[in-house]
Amino acid sequence: MTDKLFEPVQLGALELQNRIVMAPMTRDRAGPGDIPSDLMVEYYRQRASAGMIVTEGTQPSREGKGYWRTPGIHSQEQIDGWRRVADAVHGEGGKIVMQLMHCGRVVVPENRGYDADIIAPSAIVCSDPVPGPDGVPAPTAMPTALTVDGIAVLVEEFSQVAKNARAADIDGVELHCASGYLINQFLNPVSNQRDDEWGGAAENRIRFPMAVLSAMADAIGSDRVGFRISPGNPYNDMDVSAPEETFIPFLKAADNLNLAYVHVVDMGLEELDSLAMIRENWSGPIIANNGLKENSAAQILAEGRADVVSFGRAFIANPDLVERFRSGAELAKPDYTKLYVGEAEGYTNYPAST
Ligand SMILES: Cc1cc2nc3c(=O)[nH]c(=O)nc-3n(C[C@H](O)[C@H](O)[C@H](O)COP(=O)(O)O)c2cc1C
């Protein structure tokens, strides 16, 4: 039954050699200037046998950074750094798309190492603490509500960084619309209390995500743009009362753009079957994620509930996860104390099984 995991698949312009995708994971190992480090080049190279790698969340601007030592894609040095990552992955026959993650209001200022505005749809603070420097939980700062002009600047920024990713030879981009970050802050009524055309009814709350996806599709081609959602996820202080009221119109609108894929963090809720909701309202490829094992992933593919599956934590200690699934080798366990610290330790020092 697991055979389907190893079948090639096409996501828009992206040709995957298998259906086992590496999920985006922030690991806080960027160098000074938020430039991809040598360690990052090695880390992604080691995991290139995945059908596709989705990079850690990468900020499109100085304002987009919320966590410690996350990489950017807005300076020439960052573009050059990412080209080294892309070359390493391509050299091993892999594919790599960049997750574009703007934190919006989810910012611990000390994580940045510089001063920049903290922006969000509305001036409402996120009450969940998030990891500060060295991973220690810290409070987030109060954001400033974006002006209408500020929203237009942001849309242009996303369009530019999609081009930057392609200039770095990255194969495509994934817009992070999940887990309570900027795009999710626009989608969610708790964080978006605007009374203009960018807030209020669902058709207004999806306007900014749609404007960004359209701009990026125009910039690099719709078949190289995907997006990630997590309907019903309370993370970072999101309201979860009626996710389908927002996500059905969002999926229907996004479907008109002919994008490469939607990537869903399936929360496994009794009251919401995310995969079924997506199949009903979206005609493109689906990547399913969250807590999957080899067998449960294969079953989702066999039942046609998704076309591709992604694994996060399993890739941390198993750089050759695809080969381990193929051979039935045992999976190594990650050292969770080294997720966001430790440099090479707990990052590039996990060996392959053979
Ligand atoms: C260390 C770590 C960092 C993560 N960083 C991100 C991120 O930058 N962007 C994102 O969309 N999800 C992020 N996630 C969530 C994963 O992509 C994935 O949804 C989650 O780990 C569940 O999948 P899994 O059960 O296969 O691990 C992160 C998860 C972990 C463990």
How much distance in Å is there from the Cα of 197 to the middle of ligand 1?
A: 32
Ligand 1 centre distance from Cα of residue 25 (Å)? 5
In angstroms, the CA 293 to CA 309 distance is 10
Tokens of residue 90, six digits: 């391509």
Q: Which of 44, 67, 181, 261 is catalytic?
A: 181
Indicate if ligand 1 lies below 6 Å from the C-beta of 265. Answer: yes
In one-letter notation, the amino acid at residue 245 is E
| 230 CA to centre of ligand 1 in angstroms | 11
Please say whether the beta carbons of 42 and 1 come within 8 A: no
> What residue owns the CA closest to ligand 1's atom 28?
25
Nearest CA to ligand 1 atom 11: 24
pLDDT at 83: 98
Q: Which long-range contacts (CB under 8 A, 24 or more apart) does 195-200 make?
A: 196/148, 198/121, 198/148, 198/151, 199/121, 199/122
- Residues of the chain short of pLDDT 50, as ranges, are none
pLDDT at position 219, please? 98
* CB 26 less than 6 A from any atom of ligand 1: yes
334 CA → ligand 1 middle, Å: 13
Is any atom of ligand 1 closer than 6 Å to the C-beta of 24? yes
Identify any residues that bridge with 35 across adjacent strands, giving them in sequence order: 31
User: What whole-number distance in Å separates Cα of residue 38 and Cα of residue 148?
Assistant: 40
Cite the DSSP H helix spans in the chain: 38-46, 76-91, 148-167, 182-187, 202-205, 207-220, 243-255, 274-281, 294-302, 313-317, 321-327
Domain ranges in the chain are: 31-42+56-76+99-307
Query: pTM, whole model, 2 decimals?
Result: 0.98
pLDDT at 1 (0 to 100): 67
Best probe residue, ligand 1, of 20, 21, 26 (max atoms within 8 Å of C-beta): 26
Task: Quickly name the fold that domain 31-42+56-76+99-307 has.
Answer: TIM Barrel (3.20.20)
Return the residue whose CA atom lies nearest to atom 4 of ligand 1. Answer: 25
Angle between helices 207-220 and 148-167 (to 10 degrees): 30
Residue 261 in tokens: 């894929």
CA separation for the pair 22, 322 (Å, rounded): 10
Q: Please confirm, yes or no, whether 181 is among the known catalytic residues.
A: yes
Ligand 1 pocket, mutate which of 22, 25, 235, 266 (most atoms under 8 A from CB): 25
